[in-house]
Amino acid sequence: MNTIQEIQADIVEEFAVFTDWMDKYEYLIELGKNMPLIDEKDKTDDHLIRGCQSRVWLSCRQEEGKLFFAADSDAIITKGIISLLLKVYNGQTPEAILAADEAFIEKIGLRENLSPTRANGLVSMIQTIKGYAAAAVDQAARPAGKNDLESDVIVALRQVYDPEIPVNIYDLGLIYDIQADADGQVFIRMTLTAPNCPIADDVVAQVREAVADVPGVKDVQVDLVFEPEWTTDRMSEEAKLELGML
């Protein structure tokens, strides 16, 4: 298995053959045709990547310490984009996925040739993939005997995005506390980047919906607070890197 860096270098070489972006789009479409497809039974709301203009489903399984993804989309270009990411990350360890950057996306000119909505969708795809990787790392570090529900809740929270900043609310540092017991009762204490957010209720509703879809969750309580005040210090390293703050 090649490393992520080697795969990215190969992709840059492959795209360098094309001088016209229409040819590159055609290549993306071809990649989408060979992508490992998600099972039809898994095309559910809890596998939808939130933040994408088109519908994109992504599932993940772990075998022998490596992550394997399957996906699908109802838009051919979007399907090509997610297939490109899967080509990079499939079969890699969670640690390698988290440590990898996405410089190859800039090198092949993908981001600058996408519409703003598709570019935001690309960010959402990367964040979701890394969310699965982070959950796998958290799971490995979890003390024996502790239930797995909290890890699954974190994966779900990483699919909910701030309305103004293209980063999921977990890596943005908006989640102050998660309590998940073996009976499926989940309590979440969270904040927002600004106390006067006009769609605060919508964000809280998205959190409830995303967590309620997690298998094993029976009830979700969300407490929205504004003390302590949110600051950028609460953001994860991945989020800061994504926003060009590192």
Catalytic positions: 52
Distance between CA atoms of residues 186 and 178, nearest Å: 7
Which is it for strands 185-190 and 219-224: parallel, antiparallel or unpaired? parallel
Helices 149-157/200-212 angle, 10° precision: 140
Sequential DSSP letters for 138-170: HHHHSPTT--SHHHHHHHHHTT-B-SSSSSBTT
Tell me the β-bridge partners of 221. 187
Rounded to 5, what percent of the chain is helix, strand, coil? 50, 15, 35
Closest CA to 190 of 234, 138, 148: 234
